[in-house]
Amino acid sequence: MILHSKLIPLCFCLLVLFACNSAKEKHSGMAADSSSINNIQFKTAFQKSIDGKNTDLFILRNKNHVEAAFTNYGARILSFQIPDKSGNLTDVVVGFGSIEAYQQSTERYFGATIGRYGNRIANGKFKLDSREYSISINNSPNALHGGKKGFQDVVWDAKQLNEQTLEFTYLSKDMEEGFPGNLQVKVIYSLSDDNELIINYEASTDKKTILNLTNHAFFNLNGEGSGTILNHTLKINAEQYTPVDSTLIPLGEIVALAGSPFDFRKAVRIGERINDDNIQLKYGKGYDHNYVLNPGKNGEMKAAATVRGDKSGIVMEVYTQEPGLQFYSGNFMKSKNTFKGGTNDDFRTAFCLETQHFPDSPNQPNFPSTILKPGELYKTKTIYKFSSDK
């Protein structure tokens, strides 16, 4: 349910990029002739039938003319347009120009809702009540982000509640990808008049299961196609992190950040220490680690991180109810995919800050539990708040 008049400002901005760059695109599904590109075509690029369900494009817009675009394929965010320090609209979420491009990408997770289990589960196995469950291995030897067909690859039911609120729902059936229980999931995206992207997650199950939902937006606060994110400054409100083995599974230890290249307690350039001679950095090919966030008051939102784009002056603050934050510095981006503006997904040209419970928690008894039982309501919220230097 889309109001076409609401599509015009965002689509015009995005399609100017397509008109300039579409000849370079390999997988976007958009026409190469810039004269044929228009708003209807952009919308049509996100309309497809997958597994008998229809995908579409949805737009949220606030009173500040800030706009965000979404699709129900993977319940994902496609674009977020925010003014930079000079007042120029800047798309800080990198992504693709069509459903086909997301389907064909070598990186499945751009902008998507991740589940059932965000991050890794060692060897794709865990136990509940002495029964062992096996999840599809898709990041050998481990399961990553829910298995071979996670929530990023399914079509969600969508309902646009108003021009600033969008609801996605999905029924993950018992033993889908090996997870027990019929799981009813709801993700609500809201765009506030304070330029906050608010993500509310809810879920319930009819059998005991494990659950760890997150969003996998890739950000570049200087704008998609602007180059490296290594000169962004980052602060993470954490004193500790969970080091990993060579397959990026936590060792079970919770280690202090002080004196390590992982210390972002004060704002530091992302690239300041990323090439240090450190075994953890070598395992992740850069930053790809879970931070143990400083606790807030029980159940309340807490400040998790602050990032600033060095060129744009755009600032993103992250708030969450989750205990952890995965910082990923784009180490596996390999220039194999073409973004909606015509540039490639080059090495370290985007970063992720995924709010979460810890990786491999079902196999780590000292980590916060990710078990969800029948009769319980999984409910958590994350906020990405945007502003800019004046």
Q: If pLDDT is split at 50, 70 and 90, which confidence band does 39 have?
A: low
Tell me whether the CATH fold assigned to 4-115+149-210 matches the one assigned to 227-388. yes
* Of 78, 75, 52, 76, the residue nearest 67 (C-alpha): 78
**216 counts as catalytic:** yes
Q: Helix or strand or coil: residue 28?
A: coil
| Residue 353 reports pLDDT greater than 80 | yes
Which CATH entry fits the domain spanning 4-115+149-210: 3.30.930.10, 2.70.98.10, 1.10.10.60, 2.40.110.10? 2.70.98.10
| Residue 218 reports pLDDT greater than 70 | yes
Domain boundaries, the chain: 4-115+149-210, 227-388
pLDDT, tens only, 97-135: 999 999 999 999 999 999 999 999 999 999 999 999 999
Q: What is the pLDDT of residue 42?
A: 74
Question: Which of 35-44, 47-56, 141-150 has the weakest average pLDDT?
Answer: 35-44
Instruction: Please state the pTM of the whole predicted model.
Output: 0.90
Neighbours of 283 (CB within 10 A): 17
Q: If pLDDT is split at 50, 70 and 90, which confidence band does 11 have?
A: very low
| Residue 51 reports pLDDT greater than 50 | yes
Q: Write the DSSP symbol of residue 357.
A: S
For the chain, helix, strand, coil in percent to 5 are 15, 35, 50
* Mean pLDDT (whole number) for 310-318: 98
Q: What is the DSSP string of 80-122?
A: EEEE-TTS-EEE-B---SSHHHHHH-S---TT-EE-SB-SEEG
Q: Indicate which residue of 25, 177, 196, 216 is catalytic.
A: 216
Report the distance separating Cα 179 and Cα 196, nearest Å.
Answer: 33
Which CATH entry fits the domain spanning 227-388: 2.70.98.10, 3.60.20.10, 2.60.40.10, 3.40.640.10? 2.70.98.10
Q: Indicate which residue of 177, 322, 354, 357 is catalytic.
A: 354
* Mean pLDDT (whole number) for 338-364: 97
Question: Where does residue 239 fall: left (phi above 0), alpha (psi -120 to 50 degrees), or beta otherwise?
Answer: alpha
Q: If pLDDT is split at 50, 70 and 90, which confidence band does 40 have?
A: low
Instruction: Please name the residues in contact with 35: beta carbons below 8 A apart, sequence gap of 6 or more.
Output: none
| Residue 37 reports pLDDT greater than 90 | no
Cis link prior to 359 (omega < 30° from 0)?
A: no
Question: Which of 4-8, 81-85, 149-153 has the weakest average pLDDT?
Answer: 4-8
Q: Which of 68-78 are b and which e, b meaning 16 or more Cβ less than 10 Å from the residue's Cβ? A: bbbbbbbbbbb
| Residue 336 reports pLDDT greater than 90 | yes
Q: What is the pLDDT of residue 199?
A: 98
pLDDT, tens only, 158-202: 999 999 999 999 999 999 999 999 999 999 999 999 999 999 999
Q: What is the pLDDT of residue 10?
A: 44
End-to-end CA distance of the chain: 37
Q: If pLDDT is split at 50, 70 and 90, which confidence band does 389 have?
A: confident
* Mean pLDDT (whole number) for 246-258: 97
Q: If pLDDT is split at 50, 70 and 90, which confidence band does 66 have?
A: very high
Instruction: Please name the residues in contact with 354: beta carbons below 8 A apart, sequence gap of 6 or more.
Output: 114, 118, 119, 214, 215, 216, 325, 326, 328
| Residue 337 reports pLDDT greater than 50 | yes
| Residue 149 reports pLDDT greater than 50 | yes
The DSSP bridge partners found for residue 209 are 372
Q: What is the residue-averaged pLDDT of the chain?
A: 90
Instruction: Please name the residues in contact with 279: beta carbons below 8 A apart, sequence gap of 6 or more.
Output: none
* Mean pLDDT (whole number) for 230-237: 98
Percent of the chain with pLDDT over 70: 89
* Mean pLDDT (whole number) for 309-317: 98
| Residue 26 reports pLDDT greater than 60 | no
Hunting for tokens 């008894």 — which residue is that? Answer: 365
* Mean pLDDT (whole number) for 251-276: 98
* Of 148, 48, 60, the residue nearest 99 (C-alpha): 48
Q: If pLDDT is split at 50, 70 and 90, which confidence band does 239 have?
A: very high
And the tokens for 169? Answer: 């729902």
Q: Helix or strand or coil: residue 24?
A: helix
